[in-house]
Copies of this chain bind each other. A is one copy, B any other.
Amino acid sequence: MIINFKRVPKHIGIIPDGNRRWALNNGFNKQDGYDYGIDPGFKLYELCLELGVEELTLYGFTQDNTKRPAIQTKAFQKACVDAVEKLANRDADLLVVGNTSSPLFPKELIPYTKRVKFGKGLIKVNFLVNYGWNWDLNYTLKNKAFEGDWSHDSLIKSIASSDISRMDLIVRWGGRRRLSGFLPVQSIYADFFIVDDLWPDFKPEQFYNALNWYQDQDITLGG
């Protein structure tokens, strides 16, 4: 199925929430849910390729998330590594963004903290791994202290996620209507669409509903 939309968002952000709730609903332990979140990501990636989306940003896990029990933390770290290994066999320009100076950042993903081309590229994929909004914003100050450059108009250019562009549309699965620290600068003008279903229950229709809704949004960039 290919659906033609008049306006395709250039950059879509995804908050794939509800893995743990899905696991409990399906008789698993909480930490088992993350593994079931990988395939939905690839289905979504396929749809974005078909539609010609230029950039796709996915929330992997955050520094806030790592306060959870170790068994869960290990499970979502592993799911992130597995997802990247799977993506390496496809087409994508991958960038992993997150705090690498913490042991909670999976070492396997360090090579991707500079953008790496898999196959033909075709789409920018940004993956937030051990990401923290506070770390992202404070990065400027750290950087500037290092560089001795104190001009005051360049915070946005020097945040940790500065290689990630402004998002047009953010789709969150799992019913919660909040950002949970998802890229505070790039989400400024984004339209939010909430899918009540849990992420492992991903279906293309849910994403098409978001895109259909987006067709009618009046984009003003705050003007």
- A-to-B contact residues, CB < 8 Å: 62, 64-65, 67-68, 133-134, 137-138, 140-142, 144-145, 150-156, 176-181, 184-185, 187-193, 217-218, 220-223
Contacts and interface: CB of A to CB of B under 8 A. Distances in A.
A3 to B, nearest CB: 21
Contact of A177 (B134, B144, B184, B193): B193
Contacts of A140: 141, 155
A222 B62 contact: yes
B152 A141 contact: yes
Contact of A178 (B68, B150, B185, B189): B189
30 contacts: A62-B222, A64-B221, A64-B222, A65-B223, A133-B188, A134-B155, A137-B137, A137-B155, A137-B185, A138-B154, A138-B155, A141-B151, A141-B152, A141-B154, A142-B152, A145-B151, A150-B150, A176-B191, A176-B217, A177-B191, A177-B192, A177-B193, A179-B189, A180-B188, A180-B220, A180-B222, A184-B185, A184-B187, A184-B188, A192-B192
Contacts of A191: 176-178
Which of A65, A133, A177, A181: most chain B Cβ within 10 A?
Answer: A177
Contacts of A150: 141, 144-145, 150
A191 B194 CA distance: 12
B138 A223 contact: no
Contacts of A141: 140-141, 144, 150-155
A160 to B, nearest CB: 12
A91 to B, nearest CB: 31
A184 B220 CA distance: 18
Given A62-B222, A223-B68, A156 B134 contact: yes
Contacts of A154: 138, 141
